[in-house]
Structure 1
Amino acid sequence: MKDISVTQGTVRYGIIGCGMMGQEHLRNIALLEEAQVAAIFEPDAEMRAAAQTQAPGAEIVETVEDLLARDDLDALVIVSPNHLHVPQLEMIANGRPLPILVEKPLFTAPEDAERIARFAESYPAPVWVAMEYRYMPPVAAFLEQAEAATGGIKMLTIREHRFPFLHKVGHWNRFNRYSGGTLVEKCCHFFDLMRLCLKSNPVRVMASAGQAVNHKDESYDGETPDIWDNAYVIVDFANGTRAMLELCMFAEGSRWQEELTATGPTGKIEAFVPGPTRFWPGDLGEAPVPQLVTSPRDPKGPRTELFPVEAALLEAGDHNGSTFYQHQRFLEVVRGQGGPEVTLQDGGWAVRIGLAAQQSAMEGRVVEL
């Protein structure tokens, strides 16, 4: 890999896409020392104006090509709609390769996997796939402590009970052809965590999913959204372990948005993560504090550890501070201090599991990987 790292001075970022998540990236980059957003490409006028408020020193450019033509950028962050990630990565590769943080999912369709493989073979700079959930404080602690707490994980369960898909520019997240489908768009995070926890690759996927409640009364250019809002997914891994995902996107009244449970021969460990603090009703008092609970089999007795997140980080985004912690590590990579923690291979596997789950649910069968 070519060394194009920035060893000293301010790191200057170019941002491709500044909708809701792009603006979260802007706010978190602003919290980093010696980091600055220098240029932004965002075609939507409303989002462009909001981005200028978040990063007043950045230049707004008219095209991705204009952004890539600048010679003063040190790193790129891709936060565009899902189906644009692959062509934009290829465009960057054909221009001036720089370290990239690309939002999940890495790609959205099976035929994109080969394009990503070709990109990975030739791209000379580091690429980090943005899997923020790894860096939520209780989830990070869960990942660190799970082996010791369980004696070796045998079963992993992830539950997400949350709010429906929010409105995005052009309503792209309402349709499978743009998002990859719910089990790719939303759930690639959890499939990434499964591989990371279980230290193995999947061999088969079985899923049941559908659209039960959300978006059924919406219409865009005469078309009703086809995005799913609930699912069960079971994944078997090569090392004999198994994992399950339970997703419900009409359960925003829950105390916890994400719950992770790992069990093994000596005990159980659980992580409990609340949703975005801006959605917590003020009349209920303070929002819940993330927790980690370990429950050994002998001696019995659960132990609870709290993981409060700094107010400034909660205000900067909807992911319990994880976007900031991810950016801290990515900045180290840009400065030549190590490589990406979430690789193109990791991002690719997360999408493959999601696509297999989509296929399993649609066809009513087990899908082998």
Structure 2
Amino acid sequence: MDKLRFGIVGVGMMGREHIRNLKLHPEAEIVALQDPVPECLERGVKQLGRPVATYAEIPAMLAEAELDCVLVVSPNYTHRAVLEPLFAAGLNILCEKPLCTTIADARWAAEQAKAHAAVFWTGMEYRFMPPAARFIAAIEGGEVGRLVQLSIREHRFPFLQKVGDWNRFSRNTGGTMVEKCCHFFDLMRLIVKAEPVRVFCSGAMDVNHLDERYDGQVPDIIDNSFTVVDFANGVRALLDLNMFAEGSEEQEALTAVGDQAKLEAFIPSGDLVHSPRVPLGQPKRPVRTHVAVDPTILAAGTHHGSTYYQIEAFIDAVRGRAPVQVTAQDGLMAVAIGVAAETSAREKRVVEMSELGF
């Protein structure tokens, strides 16, 4: 079988993670790297470990490189401008989260994707973390009964430095609740299997980046928050985010409570704990299992193996072996919930999704 020829747009930190993971896949070949920053291209070539065509501009890459697929890993605020020529070229596209930084641009991308003859996939790595995937499958399999509450906790390190410090400002990222938390809002929709009705977020920038200045400008990104999302089927979900808790033993914890049992997943330990309801006064009966991940795949990224497994699923969709699992519509809805959360935190009120056209 011929290998799929990949181009990567954006060769920063996450772009190089994609390089490491594409190198592991037997059906993928990286034939082009594009980035306007020469140093990023140099690091990308070094990461790849062999000569490869490099481009400062997307039109030159499209004109010269023979491509089957493109990964969009450029800064959030560039996604619409990057996607325009890629849609026109008819290539298979995996666009990293968030789909875009505004609802208007995300709607545009979703409309374009509907008419796109090739595969379009929104990058949502957290679905593909093996413990999270097992957690999702267990809920779908009825292991908690009727789902009532879902909570997601991420207690982690601050935003890392990116090229040009673009991720220090909400105008470039969409805000933390879009940039970072679109992952979790996507998980909520996937697990709850309903659309959001209203969002309340209490959040602020209380610890991180307070003493940083960029050309006299002060960063404005939320570093901790609680977000409650009410869904149309009556399920409620909570996101607990903290980005100055880098000492946490578990970075992520997912908890689903149904009318029959509670299920928890912990990352990076990879443990799942299933706790069925018991009669009052009877012994508790929790069952702990462990979800292992291939050490080579773990070492290739910083997202608990999910970058590789998502690329694998994307390639399956391109080959016609499986459907697209994360659509542009999924990307749009994750952005919309994030925008609602940003608005709620800023204005200190509940935001109805109908206000945003959903």
TM-score range (shorter-chain normalised) is: over 0.9
Runs of 4+ in structure 1 deviating by more than 4 angstroms, as ranges, are: none
- Note if contact 1:126-1:339 (Cα within 8 Å) is conserved in structure 2: no
Shift of 1:159: 0.4
- Displacement of 1:318 in angstroms is 0.2
CA distance in 2, matches of 1:75, 1:331: 9
| Aligned AA (1:292) | L
2:23 match: 30
Residue 274 of structure 2 is matched in structure 1 by 294
Give the 5 Å matches for 1:336-351: 336-351=320-335
Match of 1:211 in 2: 205
- Consecutive unaligned residues in structure 1, runs of 5 or more: 1-7, 275-288
3-state SS of paired residue (1:324): helix
What secondary structure, in the 3-state scheme, does the structure 1 residue paired with 2:86 have? helix
| Superimposed CA distance per residue, residues 274-318 of structure 1 (whole angstroms, 9 cap, x where no aligned partner) | 2xxxxxxxxxxxxxx311111011373111111222221121100
For 2:156 and 2:270, locate their aligned partners in 1 and report how far apart those are by CA, in whole Å.
15
**What is the deviation of 1:258?**
0.4
Deviation at 1:117, TM superposition (A): 3.8
Give the deviation of 1:255 after TM superposition: 0.2
3-state secondary structure, aligned to 2:25: coil
Whether contact under 8 Å (2:176, 2:223) holds in the other structure is yes
Cα separation, 1, equivalents of 2:326 and 2:297: 21
CA contact (8 A) 1:32 1:328 kept: yes
**Which segments of 5 or more consecutive residues in structure 2 lack a partner in the other structure?**
354-358
Q: Give, in whole Å, the separation in 1 of the partners of 2:62 and 2:323.
A: 23
1:225 Cα deviation after fit: 0.7
**Alpha-carbon separation, structure 1, partners of 2:52 and 2:284:** 56
Alignment of 1:87-98 (within 5 A): 87-94=81-88, 96-98=89-91
CA separation in 2, counterparts of 1:73 and 1:91? 13
Deviates more, 1:198-207 or 1:337-346: 337-346
Q: Partner letter of residue 239 of structure 1?
A: N
- 2: CA distance, partners of 1:73 / 1:22: 17
Tell me if 1:73 matches 2:71. no
- Verify the 8 A CA contact 2:200 2:349 in the aligned structure 1: yes
CA apart distance, 1:120: 2.5
The size of the alignment, in residue pairs, is 347
Q: CA deviation at 1:71?
A: 5.2
Structure 2 matches for 1:34-73, cutoff 5 A?
34-55=27-48, 56-70=50-64, 72-73=66-67
| Structure 1 partner of 2:103 | 110
Q: CA deviation at 1:237?
A: 0.3
1:136 equivalent in structure 2:
129
1:336 CA drift (Å): 2.1
Answer yes or no: is 1:146 the counterpart of 2:146.
no
**Change in CA separation of 1:334 and 1:58 when aligned onto 2, cut-off 3 Å:** farther
Distance in 2 (alpha carbons) for counterparts of 1:117 and 1:245: 25
Is 2:148–2:257's contact at 8 Å kept on the other side of the alignment? yes
Identity of paired residues, percent?
Answer: 50
Is the Cα contact below 8 Å between 1:216 and 1:224 reproduced in 2?
A: yes
1:1-369 alignment, distance < 5 Å: 8-55=1-48, 56-70=50-64, 72-94=66-88, 96-147=89-140, 148-274=142-268, 289-298=269-278, 300-369=284-353
TM-score, normalised with respect to structure 1: 0.92
**TM, length-normalised to structure 2:** 0.94
